[in-house]
Structure 1
Amino acid sequence: MAFPDKLEKNHQQKSYFNSPTKYPQRDRGSYNSTVRSQELILFMKIVFMGTPYFAIPVLDAISADGHDIVAVYTQPDRTSGRGRKVTMSAVKEHAVSKNFQVLQPGNFQADPSQIPILADFKADIAVVAAYGTLLPSEILDMFPYGCINLHPSLLPKYRGASPVSTAILEAEKVTGITIIQLDSGMDSGPILAQKEAPIGEGTLCNELTEKLFYIGADLIVETISNLAKGVIKPRQQDNENATYTKKLVRKDGLIDWKDRAGVIWRKIKAHHPWPGSYTHFNGKNLKIIEARISENYKLGPGCVSIHDNAVYIGTSDDSLIVSQLQSEGSKITSATDFARGHRDFENSILS
């Protein structure tokens, strides 16, 4: 994509937000391009697209940097629970609290009448952070600076729906965040910026995801500024080295106790909170919430033993010491409390 030499002039800024703690609002001065300390600072009209809670720091960062958030797009409200309670996305809830204009068209391809509404905002760029649906080519080509997307992996590695989970499952020591220019492919667009991040030994998927999007929040601000200044040289991805991840479904969380302890332990971390890592006990699902590996106590695969006031479950090699679990329809509890309440748990064989 060829980027414009300069922004459209005379954009108007609305007082949409209070300054968040993490991202103090930058002094805008004039909205037009200004030279301040020999640095060209440009403020853009931005459409933000995101849905889950970990996208919120990205929205906060670009708004605090002085850009005009003309609209926030997020997925439609959903009904959940026995009472079919209507719940809004985390991004919508946050955006409403900041008085941003929120739109929830769902799938643009299924309802193309929503595309002209988006075009009417006359934004310079769209920032996409876990929006949750593919964008048609009419939208990808709509903005002068295109659509830029935060992807939580070091592309071209781990394209697709579950890059963070997959990195943990594959025992990676390092991952990262990549900002790309969206194209019609699956996370295949040119790389605009990239930053590495270590994966801690006990880090859960949700914790790592939050960390990566906080890093991405700072990186997106830098990227927008560099795009406006025209100093970014997009780097094409090496498609021959691309790897892909799948969308996780509930059955992916089922534990096979014949696997090695390390494999199961990574699965528990990678699948938290979705789809969770579970086994079967007395005909019900039993989620393993927290565990660690023990090399000193050997049991058969799936065998449960209580030793020194700790719950052990055997695998094909070492055992897992389980500290927290959750029975189907119940709250999270300590494994020892669960064992006290279920006398047949000890010496059972999980499947």
Structure 2
Amino acid sequence: MALLKYATQKNSMPDIVFFGTSQFAVGVLDALAQQDIIPKLIITTPTQPSGRQLKQTPPPVYEWAKEHNITVYQPEHMSDPVFLHCLDGHTRNDYSFQELSKTAWDIFIVSDYGKIIPKELLTIPKHGIVNIHPSLLPKFRGANPIRAAILEETETGVTIIQMDEKIDHGDILTRKKLDIPSIIIPYEILEEKLAALSGKLLADILPTILSKDIESIPQEHNSATYTKKTEKDDGFINLSDDPEKNYRKYCAYHSWPRTYFYTYKGDAQIRVIISDAALENYQFIIKKVIPDGRREMDWDSFVNGYGEPK
């Protein structure tokens, strides 16, 4: 493994801080771990209420850190002086913070963290901060590149950049297309594939970053496009729309907020979640649904009970 060879030459493994929150970031961590690249410190977002019961739920990266016995911090605000310049022994969010600026970190890795990294952090690690972005930058900057690709594109991939003060703006260190027959697949499947590619790609170039043997390329900023935040209403499907458009929406919003349509039973309007669908012979085929207040059922059972959607 390239990093192990580098570490042998330097007589130590690099000191890495990883910033991440989501399941995508967990996939990156898994892929890095397979290459024996383990961060010494993980920064993730605070625990939040989730689900119908509003149960306090830690982010996926927090769980990963605990499973691997890695110190993990959850700062409320990245610009908080307590986080940036805190003294040893100061407690916040039930964790005792070390002072980031007084530790000789080699590199920070950011992967779907969900918060803006303040410029004060850019100069702390010896080799700066690298950001893993699941799109072929400068296309689809922002927080929603995977869904955007499913909705609009025929190909996607991963870009690793040297982070600067602007969002997804830094110079490109490497970029690679995802080699699969089609990206029009459910979100969580594409997310998993892109995360695995991201971790492997970073592992391959990390020794050259640490040795300062890598050349970066400025992005073509005039060609940049941007993604938007997903809203609950984005999952609405008009069943008379183009079949491929509807299937792309089903795949993009499969995990959240789910795709749905409305129908009527008598005078009552009913919201129906599409839980299973396919694109067959250029037809959008709904296989299973969940009507409001009911359990999942196959399409034929739904039509028998509710009639064809209208």
Paired position in structure 2 for 1:222: 204
1:12-91 mapped onto 2 (5 Å cutoff): 33-35=7-9, 43-63=13-33, 65-67=35-37, 69-91=39-61
Alignment match, 2:83: 114
In the alignment, the residues of structure 1 paired with residue 3 and residue 116 of structure 2 have an alpha-carbon distance, to the nearest angstrom, of: 35
1:320 matched to 2:284? The reply is yes
Check if 1:335 corresponds to 2:304. Answer: no
DSSP-derived class of the 2:202 partner: helix
**What TM-score does the superposition give when structure 1 sets the normalisation length?**
0.76
Classify the secondary structure of the residue corresponding to 2:277.
Answer: strand
* 1:285 and 2:271 are equivalent in the alignment: yes
Cα distance in structure 1, aligned partners of 2:172 and 2:280:
42
Q: What displacement does 1:242 show? A: 1.0
**Could you say which structure has the greater relative contact order, defined with CA pairs below 8 angstroms and 6 or more residues apart?**
2
Q: Distance in 1 between matches of 2:180 and 2:301?
A: 31
For 1:139, the equivalent position in structure 2 comes to 121
Q: Is the 8 A contact 1:42 1:228 kept in 2?
A: no
Task: Assess, with a 3 A threshold, how the Cα gap between structure 1 residues 294 and 218 changes in structure 2: closer, same or farther.
Answer: closer
| Match for residue 72 of structure 2 among 82, 98, 102 | 102
Deviations 1:133-165 (A, max 9, x none): 111100122211111111111111111121111
Paired amino acid for 1:203: I
CA gap of 1:68–1:250, structure 2 versus 1, over 3 A, is closer
Q: Does the 8 Å CA contact 1:26/1:66 hold for their aligned counterparts? A: no
Deviations 1:143-194 (A, max 9, x none): 1111111111111111112111111111x22210110111121211110111
| Letter matched to residue 336 of structure 1 | D
* Aligned residue among 194, 197, 205 for 2:175: 194
1:71 alignment partner AA: L
Following superposition, the deviation at residue 330 of structure 1 comes to 4.9
237, 248, 269: which one pairs with 1:255?
237
With 58-67 and 242-251 compared, the bigger mean Cα shift is at 58-67
State the match for 2:190 in structure 1.
Answer: 208
Structure 2 residue aligned with 1:181:
162
Q: Contact 1:43 / 1:68 at 8 angstroms: preserved in 2?
A: no
Amino acid aligned to 1:290: D
Structure 2 residue matching 1:157: 3-state secondary structure:
coil
Structure 2: distance between partners of 1:41 and 1:57: 28
For the structure 1 residues 339 and 41, does the alpha-carbon distance in structure 2 shift closer, same or farther, using more than 3 Å as the test?
farther
Query: In 2 relative to 1, CA 272–121 (structure 1 residues): closer, same or farther, beyond 3 Å?
Result: farther
C-alpha change, 1:97 and 1:348, in structure 2 (3 Å) is: closer
Structure whose CA Rg is larger: 1
Post-superposition CA distance 1:5-29 (Å, at most 9, x none): xxxxxxxxxxxxxxxxxxxx99959
Report what 2:139 is aligned to: 157
Kindly tell me the number of residue pairs found equivalent between the two proteins: 292
Shift of 1:249: 0.9
1:295-314 matched pairs, under 5 angstroms: none
Per the alignment, in what secondary structure is the counterpart of residue 195 of structure 1?
strand
- C-alpha distance in structure 1 between counterparts of 2:30 and 2:279, whole Å: 39
In 1, Cα distance between equivalents of 2:81 and 2:295: 43
Whether contact under 8 Å (1:41, 1:225) holds in the other structure is no
Bigger helix share: 2
CA contact (8 A) 1:159 1:242 kept: yes
Question: Aligned equivalents of 1:329 and 1:50: distance in 2?
Answer: 36
- Counterpart residue identity of residue 57, structure 2: T
What amino acid maps onto 1:346 in structure 2? G
3-state SS of 1:289 partner:
strand
* Shift in alpha-carbon separation, 1:118–1:263, aligned structure 2, 3 A: same
Residues 292, 69 of structure 1: CA spacing in aligned structure 2 closer, same or farther, 3 A cutoff? Answer: closer
The residue that corresponds to 2:92 in the other structure is none
Report the TM-score, using the length of structure 2 for normalisation: 0.85
Q: Is the 8 A contact 1:160 1:246 kept in 2?
A: yes
Question: C-alpha distance in 2, partners of 1:250/1:95?
Answer: 30
- In 2, distance between residues paired with 1:174 and 1:41? 41
Alignment deviations for residues 42-76 of structure 1 (CA, whole Å, 9 cap, x no partner): 73100011112222232234445445622111111
Matched residue type, 2:13 = F
One of 122, 127, 130 as aligned partner of 2:112: 130
Secondary structure of the residue that 2:272 maps to in structure 1? strand
Residue aligning to 1:348: 309
Q: Provide the aligned C-alpha RMSD in A.
A: 2.5
1:280–1:286 contact (8 Å) kept in structure 2:
yes
For 2:260 and 2:177, how far apart are their aligned partners in 1? Answer: 31
